[in-house]
Chain A
């Protein structure tokens, strides 16, 4: 298995632009999670899905953030409009069940200037 695949690896954008991050989970994994990591706050859960349905989006910072999972093999995290404080590494992770640990993707390093 190729693991959890994220794209792009790096994204540099100007403030106010729309940013879309993409994730392909491991086949057969029913849970998908989006995390954001910064030096100051560590790993923060933004949202997670179970069987393509959003279960908990309480970590989404504000309405500028949205996430979708149109099918079992694809999810997007969108920021519109982007702000410099959104600069972070965004990780996608998937899990086959609620009891097991996650497998993380390689992350997308987002820089908003």
Chain B
């Protein structure tokens, strides 16, 4: 089992819709969780962090964490074509200072 798993996609949604991206992780003791956005040919960019169970909202983005079920998700409301990118989930396993990245979900927002 991979440490951090994401569906590779592509996930296609129409403009204005809600995009839902999911991530599961294997280390039950993980404490910190991040979502990065990576445009083609560019470096990953941090868009959300979440540390406790529940929802965290920032503009059109909402991160959701459920430690009991070991998943973290990212919702993008009112999706725009400019949101088309690969979204990477990163997890900080317990007892370490490093982050493990999933392989990413490619999102395509159709105009």
Contact of A31 among B44, B90, B97, B103 (CB under 8 A): B97
List residues of B (58-111) whose CB comes within 8 Å of A's CBs: 88, 90, 92, 96-104
B43 touches A91 (CB 8 A): yes
B49 at the A interface (CB under 8 A): yes
Once the chains are docked, how many angstroms separate the CA of A92 from the CA of B32? 20
Please tell me if the beta carbons of A56 and B45 are within 8 angstroms of each other in the complex: no
The total of interchain contacts (Cβ-Cβ below 8 angstroms) comes to 46
Question: Which of A42, A48, A100, A105 meets B98, CB within 8 Å?
Answer: A48
Cross-interface CB contact of A104 among B32, B45, B51, cutoff 8 Å: B45
The contact sample of 6 A-B pairs, CB cut-off 8 A, is: A42-B103, A42-B104, A43-B44, A48-B97, A56-B96, A103-B46
Q: Which positions in B face A, CB cutoff 8 Å?
A: 32, 34, 36, 42-46, 49, 51, 88, 90, 92, 96-104
Residue positions of A touching B, CB distance < 8 A: 31, 33, 35, 41-43, 45, 48, 50, 55-56, 91, 98-107
